[in-house]
C-alpha cells in the first residue's frame, strides 16, 4: 500500500508540532484543551475570523500562516457546524477535510480532536484517523519528478485525543479496513502492463497471506480442467494467462456456511474483436475494480480478524483481439453446462462471472453471493457515479446492503429484474446470448448473471460508475476509489459476525 502518511496518537495536553489544526463549531468557541494550546494567539485569531467573516458554517475553515503568538508555521481552524449533531460518518469526513487542508510542503501536522461542549469518543477519533489515511493516499509510484515544494517523506500526523489508550485500542480495526481500501485503490490505479492476471494473483496471494488468509490460485491448465470455458474464452486472445483466485478467511464458527464475494477482474478490456473506440480506452485498466474490491475486502476482514467465514473468488483475464481471440457467433459451454452464443466480445465481464459465480456456488454453498463488476457503461447513464446499481433476487439482502450504503456513504440503488427482461437474452443457437440489445443494458447483463446463481441469495453490484474515475471526495482524491470495501465490511459487521 502506498504510504503517504504516518499517524500517531497523543493526549490533548501534548505540545503540538508542525501545522496545527483545531476545531470549532457554529458558536466559534473552543474546548478548554484547545484554548490552552491557542493561548497567545487570541488576537491573531479574532482578526483572522473578522477578515474572513468566519461564521463557523459546517466544514468552512480559516488558515493563518505563521500566526502571531504561536511558535508554529501554520494554524488552521475548521468548523464542524453543529458539534452536538455529528454522526459517525461525519468523523470520517472530518479526517478527510482536515488532511485536505495540510499543504503538500508540510512534514508534520497536529490535529487537536477537541470540540466545544462534546466529547469525541475513541471510536469517533479512530474514524477521524481513518479519514486522514484515506484522504492522504496518493498513487505517485510512476512520477519520477516530484513538485518543488513537495515534502520528500511521508507526512507525520499526530492526533491529540481525550482518551489516548481507548483510541489506540479502537484504531487497529479501522486501520485494517483502511488498508483494504488502499490495497483496492492501488490495484485499480496500476497500469495493465504491470498488473496482468498473473501479477494480480501474485499480489492477492502476497497481501492476503500476510494477514493469515488462505489463497489458492488456478492457472490456465487448472481452469481448463475445471471446465471454465466461458472465462477462458475471454482470455484466449491475450498472450497473458488467465487466473482464478480463491481467498478464504475462516474467522467464524467451524460448520457455518461462508458468505461469498465474487469479483470481475478484467485487467484490461479492449473489447476484443468487437473492439472499443480509442477515446478513453485507457480507463479500461480499471475493469478489474470488482476484483480489487473483493481482494481489499478479504484483506480487511482477515486483518481485523472478523468473526465470519468469508470467501472471495475473482476471475482474472485480459480481453484482447488477436488471431486466437474469440469471435462474435462463437458458442461456448460454461462451467454450469449452459451454452452461450457470443454476440459481442465486449460483453466479456458476464462471461467471466458466469463461471466464477457457478464455481463459488457449487463449491462453497454460501449463505449469499455478492458480486462486484464494472459491468456496463449503461449503469453510468442510469446512476452516474453517485450510486452503484444493485440487482438482487433477495429483498432482505438488498435492504441490508442499502442500509450499509447509507452508513458508509457507499450508496447502492436497487434496479429491477424480471422474466420479461430475461427473455431478451434468449438465443437462436444456444441457451442464451451474451448481450440483450441497446435498451436496459445493465438489467439484461444482470439477468445473464442470474442464470448462474440458482436459488442462492445473490446481489450484483454494477460498479462501473463508482470503482474508478469517480468524482474526488473528502476521503478520496485518487482515480481508483476502492469503492465497496467499506460498504461490504459494514454489511458483514452489522449482520454476519457471530
Ligand atoms: N468494462 C465494460 C463496461 C464499462 C464501461 C466499465 C465504462 C467502466 C466504464 C464492459 O465490459 C463493456 O464493455 N460493456 C459493454 C456491454 C455491451 C457490449 C453490451 C458496454 O457497456 O457498452
Ligand atoms: Mn467490455
Ligand atoms: Zn469489461
What is the four-CA torsion angle of 461, 465, 471, 477, rounded to 10 degrees?
Answer: 60
**List 107, 168, 202, 276, catalytic entry:** 276
Strands 74-79 and 61-65: antiparallel
Please determine, for residue 478, whether its predicted confidence score (pLDDT) is greater than 90.
yes
What is the secondary structure of 429-443 as a DSSP string? SSSEES---STTHHH
Whole-number Å distance, alpha carbon 321 to ligand 3 midpoint, is: 14
Q: Is 350 a catalytic residue?
A: yes
Band of pLDDT at residue 2, cut at 50, 70 and 90: low
Please determine, for residue 141, whether its predicted confidence score (pLDDT) is greater than 80.
yes
CATH of the domain at 56: 3.40.220.10
What is the secondary structure of 178-232 as a DSSP string? HHHHHHHHHHHHS-TTTS-HHHHHHHHHHHHHTTT-EEEEE-HHHHHHHT-HHHH
**pLDDT for 411:** 98
CB-CB contact of 198 with 243 (8 Å) = yes
Indicate if 303 and 409 belong to the same structural domain: yes
Extended beta strands in 67-131, E state: 74-79, 108-112
Whether 170 maps to a domain, the answer reads: no
Taking ligand 3, which is a single-atom ion, which protein residues have CB atoms under 5 Å away? 266, 269, 287, 349
**pLDDT for 295:** 99
> Cell 470455458 sits at which residue?
229
Band of pLDDT at residue 352, cut at 50, 70 and 90: very high
**pLDDT for 3:** 63
Please determine, for residue 152, whether its predicted confidence score (pLDDT) is greater than 90.
no
Run of H or E including 294: helix 289-303
pLDDT tens-place string over residues 71-126:
999 999 999 999 999 998 999 999 999 999 999 999 999 999 999 999 999 999 99
368's grid cell: 449469499
Whether 171 maps to a domain, the answer reads: no
470's grid cell: 469517480
d(CA 498, CA 493): 9
| Furthest CA-CA distance within the chain | 82
Indicate if 82 and 204 belong to the same structural domain: no
Say yes or no: CB of residue 469 within 6 Å of ligand 1. no
Indicate if 135 and 215 belong to the same structural domain: no
Which 8-state DSSP code applies to residue 415? -
108's grid cell: 508534520
Of the chain, the percentage scoring pLDDT greater than 90 comes to 96
Which 8-state DSSP code applies to residue 150? S
**pLDDT for 18:** 98
Band of pLDDT at residue 498, cut at 50, 70 and 90: confident
Strands 108-112 and 155-161: parallel
Whether 247 maps to a domain, the answer reads: yes
For residues 331-341, give the mean pLDDT.
99
**Final residue before a domain boundary, out of 132, 164, 196:** 164
Please name which of 83, 85, 108, 109 lies closest in space to residue 98, comparing C-alpha atoms. 109
- Give the ligand 1 atom nearest the CA of 444: 19
d(CA 219, CA 241): 7
d(CA 235, CA 255): 36
Indicate if 141 and 190 belong to the same structural domain: no
Distances (CA, A) of 426 to 329, 333, 359: 14, 15, 23
Please name which of 381, 404, 406 lies closest in space to residue 462, comparing C-alpha atoms. 381
Whole-number Å distance, alpha carbon 464 to ligand 2 midpoint, is: 11
Indicate if 204 and 126 belong to the same structural domain: no
**pLDDT for 1:** 55
pLDDT tens-place string over residues 252-306:
999 999 999 999 999 999 999 999 999 999 999 999 999 999 999 999 999 999 9
Indicate if 158 and 228 belong to the same structural domain: no
CB-CB contact of 467 with 484 (8 Å) = yes
Say yes or no: CB of residue 435 within 6 Å of ligand 1. yes
Indicate if 152 and 196 belong to the same structural domain: no
In this structure, how many other beta carbons lie within 10 angstroms of the beta carbon of residue 235?
Answer: 30
Indicate if 182 and 150 belong to the same structural domain: no
Of the chain, the percentage scoring pLDDT greater than 70 comes to 99
Say yes or no: CB of residue 373 within 6 Å of ligand 1. no
Indicate if 192 and 160 belong to the same structural domain: no
Q: What is the mean pLDDT of the chain?
A: 97
**pLDDT for 112:** 98
For residues 9-23, give the mean pLDDT.
98
Say yes or no: CB of residue 263 within 6 Å of ligand 1. no
In DSSP terms, which residues pair with 435 in a beta bridge? none
**pLDDT for 470:** 85
Please name which of 282, 115, 295 lies closest in space to residue 202, comparing C-alpha atoms. 295
**Final residue before a domain boundary, out of 116, 132, 164:** 164
Whether 238 maps to a domain, the answer reads: yes
Indicate if 332 and 470 belong to the same structural domain: yes
Indicate if 187 and 52 belong to the same structural domain: no
d(CA 181, CA 188): 11
Indicate if 223 and 104 belong to the same structural domain: no
Domain count, the chain: 2
Whether 169 maps to a domain, the answer reads: no
pLDDT tens-place string over residues 22-37:
999 999 999 999 999 9
199's grid cell: 501479477
- CA 31 from centroid of its chain's CA atoms: 35
Whether 326 maps to a domain, the answer reads: yes
d(CA 334, CA 355): 6
Helices (H), 331-484: 349-364, 378-383, 395-408, 419-423, 441-450
- Give the ligand 1 atom nearest the CA of 269: 1
Domain that holds residue 332: 176-495
Whether 458 maps to a domain, the answer reads: yes
For residues 318-329, give the mean pLDDT.
98
**Final residue before a domain boundary, out of 164, 194, 229:** 164
CB-CB contact of 241 with 219 (8 Å) = yes
**pLDDT for 150:** 74
CATH of the domain at 187: 3.40.630.10
Cβ neighbours of residue 471 closer than 8 Å, sequence gap 6 or more:
385
Whether 282 maps to a domain, the answer reads: yes
Whole-number Å distance, alpha carbon 223 to ligand 2 midpoint, is: 21
CB-CB contact of 288 with 266 (8 Å) = yes
- Give the ligand 1 atom nearest the CA of 445: 19
Amino acid at each position: 500500500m502506498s504510504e503517504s502518511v504516518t499517524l500517531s496518537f497523543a493526549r490533548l495536553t501534548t505540545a503540538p508540532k508542525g501545522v496545527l489544526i483545531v476545531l470549532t463549531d457554529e458558536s466559534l468557541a473552543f474546548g478548554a484543551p484547545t484554548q490552552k494550546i491557542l493561548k497567545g494567539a487570541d488576537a491573531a485569531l479574532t482578526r483572522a475570523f473578522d477578515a474572513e467573516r468566519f461564521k463557523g458554517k459546517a466544514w468552512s475553515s480559516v488558515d493563518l500562516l505563521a500566526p502571531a503568538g504561536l511558535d508554529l508555521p501554520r494554524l488552521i481552524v475548521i468548523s464542524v457546524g453543529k458539534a452536538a449533531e455529528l454522526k459517525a460518518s461525519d468523523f470520517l469526513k472530518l479526517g478527510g477535510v482536515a488532511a485536505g487542508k495540510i499543504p503538500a510542503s508540510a512534514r508534520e501536522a497536529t490535529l487537536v480532536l477537541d470540540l466545544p461542549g462534546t466529547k469525541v469518543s475513541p471510536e469517533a477519533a479512530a474514524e477521524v484517523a481513518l479519514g486522514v489515511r484515506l484522504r492522504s493516499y496518493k498513487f505517485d509510484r510512476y512520477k519520477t519528478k516530484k513538485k518543488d515544494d513537495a515534502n520528500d517523506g511521508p507526512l507525520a500526523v499526530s492526533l491529540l485525543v481525550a482518551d489516548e489508550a481507548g483510541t489506540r485500542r479502537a484504531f487497529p480495526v479501522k486501520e485494517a479496513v483502511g488498508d483494504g481500501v488502499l490495497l483496492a485503490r492501488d490495484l485499480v490505479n496500476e497500469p495493465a502492463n504491470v498488473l496482468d492476471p498473473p501479477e494480480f494473483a501474485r499480489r492477492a496471494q502476497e497481501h492476503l497471506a500476510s494477514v493469515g488468509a488462505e489463497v489458492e490460485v488456478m492457472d490456465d491448465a487448472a481452469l481448463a480442467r475445471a471446465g471454465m470455458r466461458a472465462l477462458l474464452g475471454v482470455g484466449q486472445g491475450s498472450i497473458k494467462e488467465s487466473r482464478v483466485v480463491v481467498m478464504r478467511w475462516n474467522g467464524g464458527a467451524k460448520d457455518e456456511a461462508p458468505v461469498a464475494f465474487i469479483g470481475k477482474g478484467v485487467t484490461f478490456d479492449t473489447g476484443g474483436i468487437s473492439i472499443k473506440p480509442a477515446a478513453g480506452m485507457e480507463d479500461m485498466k480499471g475493469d478489474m475494480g470488482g476484483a480489487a474490491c473483493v481482494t481489499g475486502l478479504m484483506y480487511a476482514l482477515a486483518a481485523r480478524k472478523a468473526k465470519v467465514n468469508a470467501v472471495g473468488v475473482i476471475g482474472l483475464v485480459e480481453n484482447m483481439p488477436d488471431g486466437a481471440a474469440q469471435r462474435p457467433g462463437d458458442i461456448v459451454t460454461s462451467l454450469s453446462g449452459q451454452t452461450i452464443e457470443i454476440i459481442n466480445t465486449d460483453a466479456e465481464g458476464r462471461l467471466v462471472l458466469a463461471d466464477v459465480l457457478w464455481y463459488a456456488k457449487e463449491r462453497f454453498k454460501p449463505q449469499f453471493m455478492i458480486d462486484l463488476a464494472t459491468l456496463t457503461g449503461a449503469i453510468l447513464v442510469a446512476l452516474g457515479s453517485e450510486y452503484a446499481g444493485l440487482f438482487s433476487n433477495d429483498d432482505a439482502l438488498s435492504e441490508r446492503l442499502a442500509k450499509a450504503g447509507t452508513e458508509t456513504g457507499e450508496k447502492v440503488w436497487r434496479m429491477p429484474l424480471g422474466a420479461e427482461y430475461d427473455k431478451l437474452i434468449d438465443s437462436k443457437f444456444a441457451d442464451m446470448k451474451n448481450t440483450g440489445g441497446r435498451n436496459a443494458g445493465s438489467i439484461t447483463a444482470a439477468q445473464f448473471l442470474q442464470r448462474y446463481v440458482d436459488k442462492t441469495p445473490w446481489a450484483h453490484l454494477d460498479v462501473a460508475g463508482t470503482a474508478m474515475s469517480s468524482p474526488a471526495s473528502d476521503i478520496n482524491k485518487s482515480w481508483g476509489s476502492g469503492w465497496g470495501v467499506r460498504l461490504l465490511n459494514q454489511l458483514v459487521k452489522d449482520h454476519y459476525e457471530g
